[in-house]
Structure 1
Amino acid sequence: MNQRSFTLLAASIGAVSSLAHAPLAAAPLPQTMMSAPVVSTPQARAGIVAQFEARRAQRGLNANHGFAVLVQHPGMQGTQVARVAHTWKGVPIFGSESVVVLDPNGRIQSESSSERRAGLGKSTGTASATNGPGQDFSVVPAISSKQAIDKALASIGADARHVAPPSAELIIYPVMRTERTAAARDKQEYELNAVDVEEVVDHYELAYLVHTRMHVGDKPVYHDTVVSARDGSILDQWNMLQTVIGVGKSQYNGEVPINTTFADGKYKMIDDSRGTGGMFGAMAITNANHGTTAGKVYVNDTNTWGDGKNYIPKGSTLDANGQTAAVNAMWGLMNTYDTLKNIFGWQSLDGHNTATYIAAHVNTAYDNAYYSDTCRCMFIGDGSSFYSLGSIDVIGHEMGHGVTAATSNLTYSGESGGLNESASDINGEVVEAYARAGGKGETIPATGNDWVLGKEISKTGTPLRWMTKPSKDGSSPDAWSSSLRRIDVHYSSGPNNRMFYFLSQGSSEDKASDYYSKYLVKAPAAMSGIGLDKAYRIWFRANTTKFTSSTNYADARTKMIEAAEELYGKPSREATAVMRAYAAINVGADVDE
C-alpha cells in the first residue's frame, strides 16, 4: 500500500503585535542541536549506576542507598541526559533524584540533584525505624498494593470507571516541612523572599504511590494518591489532569497547511512525516465524537478539510464544520512538533520521536482541553461558554506537558506543580510566536504571541490568564509568597509566567504599569529583556537537563542561572537577566545590570 503526504495550500498568517516594553537583544546564533534519540540499554544503565556507586562513600551514604535510572533522553552537542532515582534498600525515595549530563562515552559531565535521602541510614536517637529518619528504616509493607489501590479508589467515589488499569508503586515518602533560613528568622511573613525558606524532611513514611485514571460520567478524574503502606491512610493526593480551562480559537487561523496521508482512495489525518510508532504510527487527529475515548482517525474523500467556522452544537463531527476542530488540532500539533525540532532538534514530546495524537470533539459542549499521561496524547472539547478548544497556544501548552513528563516530570502539586503549568504556558506562547511567523527557521521570532491565554475563544474578549501581570485574572499572584504551594497549580504558575515575560521582554519603571515590579530595586529600575529566543533556550535547558520532580521556585532560579551561564557565559548579561527576572517575582535578590 502506497502512502504519501499531501500539504494543503497555505495562506499567509498575520503576525500579532507583542507587548514588548524594552529593547530586545539581537537573536543569538542557534545552539548545537540535540543528539539522536538515546537507546537505553541495560549495559548503559548499569554504567551510569556504577559511577554513582563509586561516589557513594564520599557522600556519606551507606550500602543501603542505591540508584535507579528512570529515563534517558538526548542532550546538546552529542551528550545524553539521564534521570536517576535515589533509592533505599531498592525502594525509590519520592522526589529525591539526580539529573546528569553524560558525554558520548557515557561518563558523567555534570549533576543536578534534589536531596531528600540524608536522614535515611542515620540514627537521630529519637526517630523510629518505621516512620522517621533512622538507621534501619524498614521497607516491608503491612498492606498489599491491591489494598492500597482500593484505599485510593475509595477516596474517589463509587461512580468512577477506569480509563487505564490502576497501579501502585512502593515508595519512601519524605514528609516535608518548611523552615526559615537563619538570616530570615526575624523577618515578618510578608517580607519573606523565596530563598528565605527551605524545605526539609520532617520524617519518612513507607507508602504506595497509586495512579488512578478514571471518568466520572463524561469527566476525566485523574489522581495520584500517596497511601500509607503501614495502615492504608491517605497521606497526600493531587489532581493529575494537566489541563487549561476553556482555551482555544478554532476558526481564527484561516487557511493553514496540514499534512495528511493518502491510502486506499481516502485521505487520513495522519502526518507520517512527524513521529513514529505510537497508536497510529505517526502524528494523528481522531474524532472522539462526543465520547470519552479517542475514536477513529479522521478520514475524508478529498484533501480539503473544514469550513473555518466554530463548531455548531449538536452538529455532525464529520462534515466540513465538524472537521474544523480537527484542522486546528493538526495545525497546532504540526507547529508544536516543528518548534521543538527546528529550534533544539528535540523530536516529538519525549525526544525519541514517539508519535502522539489529539482527539477532537471530546464529550459534549466540553469547556476544557487536557493532556493525558495514560496515552501521552491530548483531548480537546468543543466548548459551551467558550468557542471550540484548539488554539495554537492551547495545543502548545498541552503538548508542553508531554515534554515536561518526559524530562523533569515536575510533580503536579505545590510549587513544582505551578512550575509544571508555567512550563506549558511558556511552551504555548513560544509555539504561537513560531507558528505565526511561518513555522520555519532555527530561532524563535521576537514577536507573534500575545502573552495571554484564552483571549481568542473568550466571548467577552477577556483572557483567562495574563503572563504580564497574572493577578489580572483575580486569582493568580504576581510574586512568590509562602502561601504559593497551597493554591491551585494553574494559579501558582503565575509568578513564573511573569518571570519569563520579564526575562524575554523586560520591565517598566512606571509604577502604574502592568510591567512594573516593586522588587526590582537595583539599576536600572527597568530591567532589560533578552528576547524570546534566548529566554526560551535557557528555560528549555533548565527544564530538560537540571530540574528534578521536586524543583521549587528557589531551585528553579538557581538552575536557570546555571543554564544561562552554560549557554552564554559567566558572567553574562543573560545570566544577570535571569537573576533580575526572578528577583522581580520575589525569588532571590536583585542585582545591578
Structure 2
Amino acid sequence: MNKRTILASLDACSPLALAAALLASHAAAAAQAAAPTARPAAMSAPQAATPQTRAALVAQLEARRIERGLDARHGFAVIAQHPGMQGMQVARVAHTFKGVRVFGSESVLVLDDSGRIRSESASERRLGLTAGAGQAFAPGTPPAHDFSVAPALTSQAAIEAALKALGASPSPDAGTRHVTPPSAELVIFPVMRSERLQSALGKPEQELNALDVRDVVDRYELAWLVRIRMHLDGKPVYRDTVVSARDAAILDSWDMLQSVIGIGKSQYNGEVPINTTLVDGKYKMLDDSRGAGGTFGGMAITNADHGTSAGAVYVNDTNTWGDGKQYSAGGLTTDANGQTAAVNAMWGLMNTYDALKNVFGWLSLDGHNTATYIAAHVNTAYDNAYYSDTCRCMFIGDGSSFNSLGSIDVIGHEMGHGVTASTSNLTYSGESGGLNESSSDINGEVIEAYARAGGKGDAIPASGNDWVLGKEISKDGTPLRWMMKPSKDGSSPDAWSSTLKRLDVHYSSGPNNRMFFFLSQGSSSDKAGDTWSKYLVKTPLAMTGIGLDKAFRIWFKANTTKFTSSTNYADARAKMIESAEELYGKGSREAIAVQRAYAAINVGTDVDE
C-alpha cells in the first residue's frame, strides 16, 4: 500500500563532476515587451542529452574555431544540459586544450528545439595558449605553443598534498571519514590578475568602479584540481584545492561547504501542510509527488540522529508530526519534539520546489526533477546548515548559539545552492563565490515570500519576506545578514571595491544582495536611511524598483542561462542587462532598473530613468 496523504502538522552551494561528463572528449531568445500583467514564458521541458546530440553540438562549435583564432588543439566538452526558457535548452561546454579542461573557461549555449546554437555566453581564458607571444608562464614551463599537458606529479601525490594542507592524514584515522573518496582532475589553471583599463589608469584606488578593471590571464599552470569531501573530527570539511602538477605547490584553495554560517530555526510558522507517504501502516516523511528517482524515490527528510551521515527517512505511527518547539538538547530525535526539525525542513523543501515549478517550470534542483533530501539533526548542537555537492542534498543542525537550523529562508538558501550547482556552477571563491552566496540569499528571500503567501500561484508575491537572513532564528533577534544594507553586519561591504575578491564569500555577497534589494524595492534619496546609495546620481536620485517577481525572473534567467563559473560582478551586470532586455525589451524600465541597481553598488555608471 502506497498512499500519499496531506496533513496539518505543528511547526513552531557543486561543482559538477566534469571528469565523468567529458564523454565526447572532445540569436538570443526573442525579447518580450510584456504588458504589465504578462509574464515571460516558463522553462521548457528537459530533454535528455545523448552522445549523438553532444557530438552534434561540439561539431557546431568546432566549425567556428578558425574564426576565433583557435587551432585543432582547442576542443570542447559538453558538461551539462538543462532547461531554458521559451522552448529552448541550455548546454554548458568546457573549453579544452590538448584534451585537458581549461579551468574557468567555458561557454553557455542557448539551443533551439533542434539543437542549433541560438546564442553563446562565454568566458575566454584559453586564447593565450595559442597566441604565445607576450604570454607569461610559470617558471620552467615551455612556450605557449608547446604547453605540455604531461604532469610531473601523480594524482595521488596531489591528493596527499591537498590533505596535508588541510591538516589531515592521507590514511584515514578515527577522526577522519571521507564522504566520497578524494578525486583529482588534471586541468590547465589560468592564474588571473586584475588590470586597469586605459581610461582608469589615473584613478585613485578607492574611486575605481567595477568596470574600470578587468581580469586577465597572468600565466597558465598545469595542475590537479583536488576535491575533498570529508568529516574531520566530526565536522564537515569540503575543500577544492589546486595543486601544481609540476612541484605540488598549492596554487589556490577554497571552501566548498556551501553554508549559511549558523542560520536556522523554524518554530514560527504555526500549522503547515506537509506531504507524507503511507507504507505498510507507517507514515514516512517522503513526498513522491515532488521529484523522482534520487536516493529515496521522492523528496525526503531523514534523521541523522546527531551523526554525520544522512540516516534513514523519518517514520511515524501517526500522521501528526512535531510539537512546534525548539529541540531540547539531549532529547530523542524521533519523538514529537525531535520531529519538529523534520517538519520545518519538509515545509521548506515543498515550498522551494513549488515556487520554482510554478513560476518557471523548473523541476527540483537540477531542472530534470531529480529528487533530493534534507538530513535533520546533523551532529550535536551543530550551528550550521549546508548543501553537499556529493549527494546534492542538504544537512541542518540543531544549533547551540542559534536555534534549530531549518527556517524557511535557510532551506530556500541551501536549495538555491543546488540550482546554482546544476547551472552556472559559480566557483565558490572570489567574486564568483560571492555571487554564488548571493544567489542563495536571493532564493531564500524569494521562497520566504512565496511560502508566507500560501505557497501557490505562478508569480512571486510582492511582499512577505523580511530582507534579512537569520532574524527569526537568532536567539537575540539580530539578523546575520541585511540585504538592504549589508554593512550592518560589520563585515560585508555595501558596494564593489577592488578588495572584494579577497573576502569570505559570505561577505563578498553583500553588494549583490543590495543590488537585488534595489532592483526589487528601489532606493531612497535620504542620506540617513539604510537604502541610500551615493552612487545614484541621475534622475530621480531614488531609483524605482520593479518588484520581487520581475527582479527574480531576471536573476534566475541570468544565473541559469548566461552566467559561467567564472562570472564576476562586472560580467553579472552585463548578463543581467541582457536577461532583462530579452524578457522585457531593450530600453524597458526593467533593463534600466538593472543598470541603476548595479550602479548603486559601484558596478557601472548610473543612468536616468
Which TM-score applies when normalising by structure 2?
Answer: 0.94
Query: Contact 2:467–2:484 at 8 Å: present in 1 too?
Result: yes
* Among 390, 396, 399, the residue aligned to 1:374: 390
What are the Cα deviations for residues 497-548 of structure 1, in whole angstroms up to 9, with x where unaligned?
A: 0000000000000000000000000000000000000000000000000000
Q: Which residue of 1 aligns with 2:577?
A: 561
What are the Cα deviations for residues 450-489 of structure 1, in whole angstroms up to 9, with x where unaligned?
A: 0000001111111000001000000000000000000100
1:434 counterpart = 2:443: no
Query: Contact 2:282–2:318 at 8 Å: present in 1 too?
Result: yes
Q: How does 1:499-578 map to 2 (within 5 A)?
A: 499-578=515-594
Residues 508, 12 of structure 1: alpha-carbon distance in 2 compared, 3 angstrom cutoff? farther
SS at match of 1:251: coil
Q: Which residue of 2 aligns with 1:4?
A: 3
- Alpha-carbon separation, structure 1, partners of 2:308 and 2:438: 27
* Among 324, 327, 346, the residue aligned to 1:330: 346
- Alpha-carbon separation, structure 1, partners of 2:468 and 2:44: 33
AA at the equivalent of 1:143: L
- Measured after TM superposition, the shift of residue 216 of structure 1 is 1.2
AA at the equivalent of 1:113: A
SS at match of 1:96: strand
Q: How does 1:247-396 map to 2 (within 5 A)?
A: 247-396=263-412
Residues 385, 6 of structure 1: alpha-carbon distance in 2 compared, 3 angstrom cutoff? same
- Alpha-carbon separation, structure 2, partners of 1:316 and 1:160: 26
RMSD: 1.5
Query: Contact 1:30–1:343 at 8 Å: present in 2 too?
Result: no
- Measured after TM superposition, the shift of residue 233 of structure 1 is 1.1
SS at match of 2:413: helix
- Alpha-carbon separation, structure 1, partners of 2:10 and 2:586: 44
- Alpha-carbon separation, structure 2, partners of 1:178 and 1:79: 35
- Alpha-carbon separation, structure 2, partners of 1:29 and 1:451: 26
What are the Cα deviations for residues 396-417 of structure 1, in whole angstroms up to 9, with x where unaligned?
A: 0000000000000000000000
1:39 counterpart = 2:48: yes
Q: Which residue of 2 aligns with 1:117?
A: 126
Query: Contact 1:121–1:133 at 8 Å: present in 2 too?
Result: no
- Segment of structure 1 superposing worse, 135-144 or 66-75: 135-144
- Segment of structure 1 superposing worse, 4-13 or 153-162: 4-13
- Measured after TM superposition, the shift of residue 310 of structure 1 is 0.7
1:204 counterpart = 2:204: no
AA at the equivalent of 2:122: S
1:98 counterpart = 2:107: yes
Residues 11, 433 of structure 1: alpha-carbon distance in 2 compared, 3 angstrom cutoff? farther
What are the Cα deviations for residues 379-430 of structure 1, in whole angstroms up to 9, with x where unaligned?
A: 0000011111100000000000000000000000000000000000000000
1:187 counterpart = 2:194: no
Residues 128, 425 of structure 1: alpha-carbon distance in 2 compared, 3 angstrom cutoff? closer
- Measured after TM superposition, the shift of residue 267 of structure 1 is 0.2
Q: Which residue of 2 aligns with 1:29?
A: 38
- Measured after TM superposition, the shift of residue 278 of structure 1 is 0.8
- Alpha-carbon separation, structure 2, partners of 1:246 and 1:119: 43
Query: Contact 1:69–1:84 at 8 Å: present in 2 too?
Result: yes
- Alpha-carbon separation, structure 2, partners of 1:144 and 1:336: 43
SS at match of 1:120: helix
Residues 362, 26 of structure 1: alpha-carbon distance in 2 compared, 3 angstrom cutoff? farther
Query: Contact 2:420–2:426 at 8 Å: present in 1 too?
Result: yes
- Alpha-carbon separation, structure 2, partners of 1:77 and 1:517: 36
Q: Which residue of 1 aligns with 2:82?
A: 73
SS at match of 1:340: helix
* Among 43, 47, 57, the residue aligned to 1:48: 57
- Segment of structure 1 superposing worse, 139-148 or 300-309: 139-148
1:140 counterpart = 2:150: yes
1:424 counterpart = 2:440: yes
Residues 530, 134 of structure 1: alpha-carbon distance in 2 compared, 3 angstrom cutoff? same
- Alpha-carbon separation, structure 1, partners of 2:400 and 2:257: 20
AA at the equivalent of 2:74: H
AA at the equivalent of 2:166: I
AA at the equivalent of 2:570: A
AA at the equivalent of 2:48: V
Q: Which residue of 1 aligns with 2:172?
A: none
Query: Contact 2:135–2:218 at 8 Å: present in 1 too?
Result: no
SS at match of 2:507: helix
SS at match of 1:210: strand
AA at the equivalent of 1:41: T
1:584 counterpart = 2:583: no
Q: Which residue of 2 aligns with 1:61?
A: 70
Query: Contact 2:11–2:325 at 8 Å: present in 1 too?
Result: no
What are the Cα deviations for residues 68-91 of structure 1, in whole angstroms up to 9, with x where unaligned?
A: 001000111221000000100010
AA at the equivalent of 2:78: V
Q: Which residue of 2 aligns with 1:242?
A: 258
AA at the equivalent of 2:327: Y
Query: Contact 1:445–1:533 at 8 Å: present in 2 too?
Result: yes
AA at the equivalent of 2:125: R
Residues 279, 405 of structure 1: alpha-carbon distance in 2 compared, 3 angstrom cutoff? same
- Alpha-carbon separation, structure 2, partners of 1:420 and 1:12: 30
- Seq. identity, %: 76
What are the Cα deviations for residues 258-278 of structure 1, in whole angstroms up to 9, with x where unaligned?
A: 000001110000000001111
- Measured after TM superposition, the shift of residue 160 of structure 1 is 3.3
Residues 84, 188 of structure 1: alpha-carbon distance in 2 compared, 3 angstrom cutoff? same
- Alpha-carbon separation, structure 2, partners of 1:183 and 1:28: 43
- Measured after TM superposition, the shift of residue 28 of structure 1 is 4.1
1:476 counterpart = 2:475: no
Residues 321, 27 of structure 1: alpha-carbon distance in 2 compared, 3 angstrom cutoff? farther
- Measured after TM superposition, the shift of residue 36 of structure 1 is 1.4
- Alpha-carbon separation, structure 2, partners of 1:250 and 1:558: 37
Q: Which residue of 1 aligns with 2:162?
A: 152
Query: Contact 1:339–1:439 at 8 Å: present in 2 too?
Result: yes
- Measured after TM superposition, the shift of residue 249 of structure 1 is 2.2
* Aligned length, in residue pairs: 581
AA at the equivalent of 1:442: D
SS at match of 2:308: coil
1:453 counterpart = 2:469: yes
SS at match of 1:478: coil
Residues 132, 559 of structure 1: alpha-carbon distance in 2 compared, 3 angstrom cutoff? farther
- Alpha-carbon separation, structure 2, partners of 1:494 and 1:453: 12
Residues 445, 125 of structure 1: alpha-carbon distance in 2 compared, 3 angstrom cutoff? closer
- Alpha-carbon separation, structure 1, partners of 2:350 and 2:196: 46
Query: Contact 1:132–1:204 at 8 Å: present in 2 too?
Result: no
Query: Contact 1:82–1:99 at 8 Å: present in 2 too?
Result: yes
SS at match of 1:404: helix
Query: Contact 1:288–1:360 at 8 Å: present in 2 too?
Result: yes
- Measured after TM superposition, the shift of residue 313 of structure 1 is 0.7
- Measured after TM superposition, the shift of residue 155 of structure 1 is 1.0
- Measured after TM superposition, the shift of residue 11 of structure 1 is 9.4
- Alpha-carbon separation, structure 2, partners of 1:133 and 1:577: 47
- Alpha-carbon separation, structure 2, partners of 1:340 and 1:179: 39
AA at the equivalent of 1:209: L
1:169 counterpart = 2:185: yes
